Amino acid sequence: MEGDKPSVSIIGTGALGSTLQHFFEENGYRIRSVWNSRGGKVYLNKSGQFKEKRATLPEKEGEAGDFVFITTPDDLISKTARDLAGKPIHWKEKIVIHCSGNLTSDELTSLSEKGAKIVSMHPIQSFKKGDGRDRFRDITISLQGDKAGKELLKPIIGEMGANALMLSKKQKRYLHIAAVMASNYLVALMFSVENLLTDVDLEEGFESLQPLVHQTVTNIFEKGPADALTGPISRGDTASVQKHLKELKGAEQEVLYKIMGLEAAKIAERGSHIPQEKINMLRNLFTLSLDQSEKI
């Protein structure tokens, strides 16, 4: 490794790749090269001078940094690794990292066979083009793969102001499912809520929910989901639930209301302050008909 800090190559210059580049540049790392589908730039020195390349990957030893980050779309990671493994590069001296949340370090096996340390490093955060290094601050970044490689990445994650979370392959897969549900499905839920209000010409009602949603999210992470539940289900208020379902009969949101209601009923039952009879009534109200089940 050069000097006090490793040199870095980045393959893929989308939202995450460009944010990583900004972090490394601002924190004294030497960017050795940057690559995308249009070609590459090999930096000649720390002053920023570079040589443009038609190739889309490093072709020889001097074009690959000590740390090689693959930030391509998921379906290109394995192929990129295989293509890199065929290059005349001393992989035993390299750490290769992909940044997929869904895929494990196994996608880089072809490089491991060449001697590289391989790691999957996934920032649990959303990124957009133009984000700076502060996007990493106070987030969690998961690490899965080669033990020595993970240890070498931990100081970098510390510089980012992030927290490192060590995962097994199974833990990594489940964490990604959880992240999708917590982020993407929350967006989908709020989209459904917005449509529900729009259908009755109450567009401004969506904004009125903002304080409630913010406080609910705060309660979830301060108290835990089980102690954050409020509303009719938490009270065993079957009459209110029946009225809601009557209004939603045949609407797109009816099935979603029932599915989420069953989950909320589990929380209410755990609280043990609602009679079991009420819990059973709630479950019966939320049970999907055959036609509704076919819609899922």
Residue 19 lies in a domain: yes
The predicted pLDDT at position 169 comes to 96
Indicate if the pLDDT at residue 3 is higher than 60: no
Domain finish residue from 112, 146, 166:
166
Overall number of domains in the chain: 2
Compute the mean pLDDT over every residue in the chain, rounded to the nearest whole number.
94
pTM for the structure as a whole: 0.86
Residues 129 and 226 in one domain: no
Tell me whether residue 159 is in a domain. yes
Question: Do residue 158 and residue 269 come from a single domain?
Answer: no
Residue 196 lies in a domain: no
Lowest-confidence region among 106-115, 182-191, 270-279: 270-279
Pair 272, 144 in one domain: no
Q: Are residues 39 and 151 in the same domain?
A: yes
Is the same domain home to 222 and 158? no
Banded pLDDT at 34 (limits 50, 70, 90): very high
Residue 244 and residue 128 in one domain: no
Residue pLDDT, tens place only, 143-196: 999 999 999 999 999 999 999 999 999 999 999 999 999 999 999 999 999 999
Domain that holds residue 13: 7-166
C-alpha triplet 265, 211, 15: angle, nearest 5°: 95
Residue 220, domain member (yes or no): yes
The verdict on 219 and 161 lying in the same domain is no
Domain membership of residue 194 (yes or no) is no
In the prediction, which pLDDT does 48 show?
A: 75
Averaged over 266-273, what is the pLDDT? Answer: 87
- In a domain? residue 70: yes
- Which residues are paired to 10 by β-bridges? 34, 69
How far is residue 121's CA from residue 73's CA, in Å, rounded to a whole number? 14
In a domain, 179, yes or no: no
Q: Are residues 21 and 143 in the same domain?
A: yes
Query: Does 43 have pLDDT greater than 80?
Result: yes
Per the CB < 8 A criterion, the answer to whether 43 and 30 are in contact is yes
| pLDDT at residue 282, as a whole number | 95
- Residue range 44-54: mean pLDDT, rounded: 85
What is the arithmetic mean of pLDDT over 250-264? 95
Residues 6+ apart with CB under 8 A from 189: 256, 260
Residues 35 and 158 in one domain: yes
pLDDT score, position 23: 97
How far is residue 167 from each of residues 110, 121, 144, 174, measured CA to CA in Å? Answer: 21, 10, 5, 10
Domain harbouring 158, CATH code: 3.40.50.720
- pLDDT, residue 290, reads 57
Within a domain: 273: yes
Which has more confidence, 29 or 44? 29
